[in-house]
Amino acid sequence: MKRLYCFFLICLTVLCLPGCASMNPPISRQDFLLDTIVSVTLYDTHSQDILNGCMDVCRELDALFSPTKEGSDVYRINHAGGRPVAVDARTAELIRKSLEVSQLTSGAFDITIAPLVDLWDFKSQFPRVPSQHQIDEALSLVDYRAVQVEGNTVTLTNPKASIDLGGIAKGYIADRMRDYLLENGCQSAILDLGGNVYAMGKRTDGNNWTIGIRSPFDTQSQIGTLTVSDRSVVTSGPYERYFEVDGKRYHHILDPDTGYPVENGLASVTILSDQSTMGDALSTACFVLGPSEGEQLIQSLDQIDALFITDSRDIFSTGDLDFHKNS
């Protein structure tokens, strides 16, 4: 068995090409948070305090949403045995949004996927394919309707159920980091949370940002670029975390109907949106729904666009995206 999940490559999913013409060089900081490399680059302010404050927002929310850190809100919900748990207002808000996306996608996006995520254990040093019996057992616990949020209290009505915010938390955190920067007068910045990018405002020379999209077929290179301003650009792809057994690849985006990694002809989905919370959840959801249902879903939503890349290397998008494929 060969362990191949490419943990440290996550941050290369989207490569930013700012090419900034400012007189003052941008200031930047990278930290290892959210199980990935989080990078913040500020172009129109040179305050280290704002840079550090922005990273503090990320650290604080990571401490609430981590499923493994004892005492985090998610840890307490998952270990409450079905009892109501008082959580931070931001945790309650994020879970509420997760449930909205579950409803919108008929359960393709489902944070109660956690027992399956634990079972597949893509972070393990020695990953293995679970037995059908184990998958059936974990699947019986997956149902977002077992999550109740009233005010800031969360209850899992199935005491054995648990939640995993891995498909939406980075987007939510990117939105809160953006809010912090705007409140502190910074309007031109790139937030990169392991490939989950928020391109704030415009470059200081007034031009839009150029964001490189990683090729799902050769993760060291870009397949093309998107030109955007003030947009979240989030990509979901199987290459972010996976292992191989007997030549077959098993990746981390799981089908809540079957309990297995999704296989539907999609190689990656990139969502462009104003709110990264929605972009993150929809990128995971569209990856589960597949090219045709995913496209229909995005077309039904205002101000949200998507770029789909299929296993057969077709690239198509909704809306009028400024995408240039590399030759």
Positions touching ligand AMP (CB under 6 A) are 109-111, 113, 117, 164, 166-167, 236, 240-241, 252-254, 256, 280, 283-284, 287-288
Phi-psi category of residue 222: left, alpha or beta, with phi > 0 → left and psi -120 to 50 → alpha: beta
The smaller minimum CB distance to Mg ion, of residues 50 and 282, is found at 282
Q: CB of 226 within 8 A of CB of 246?
A: no
Task: Pick one of Mg ion, ligand AMP, none as the site partner of residue 11 (Cβ within 5 to 8 A by kind).
Answer: none
The smaller minimum CB distance to ligand AMP, of residues 85 and 278, is found at 278
Least distance from ligand AMP to the Cβ atom of residue 62, Å: 14
The yes or no reply on residue 175 touching Mg ion (CB under 5 A) is no
Task: Pick one of Mg ion, ligand AMP, none as the site partner of residue 117 (Cβ within 5 to 8 A by kind).
Answer: ligand AMP
Least distance from ligand AMP to the Cβ atom of residue 3, Å: 16
- 295-302 contacts at long range (C-beta below 8 A, 24 or more positions apart): 297/104, 297/105, 298/271
The yes or no reply on residue 222 touching Mg ion (CB under 5 A) is no
The smaller minimum CB distance to Mg ion, of residues 77 and 173, is found at 173
Q: Do the strands 85-86 and 27-33 form a parallel or antiparallel pair, or are they unpaired?
A: unpaired
Number of CB atoms found within 10 A of residue 10's CB: 21
Q: CB of 117 within 8 A of CB of 196?
A: no
H/E stretch holding 172: helix 169-183
The yes or no reply on residue 283 touching Mg ion (CB under 5 A) is yes
Task: Pick one of Mg ion, ligand AMP, none as the site partner of residue 277 (Cβ within 5 to 8 A by kind).
Answer: none
Would you mind telling me the total number of residues written for the chain in this entry?
327
Which residues, other chains included, contact 231 with Cβ-Cβ below 8 Å and sequence gap of 6+? 198, 199, 272, 273, 274
Q: Which residue has the tokens 């057994």?
A: 245
Q: Which of residues 138-167 bind Mg ion (CB under 5 A)?
A: 167
The smaller minimum CB distance to Mg ion, of residues 39 and 284, is found at 284
The yes or no reply on residue 280 touching Mg ion (CB under 5 A) is yes
**Interacting residue ranges for Mg ion, rule: CB under 5 A:** 167, 280, 283-284
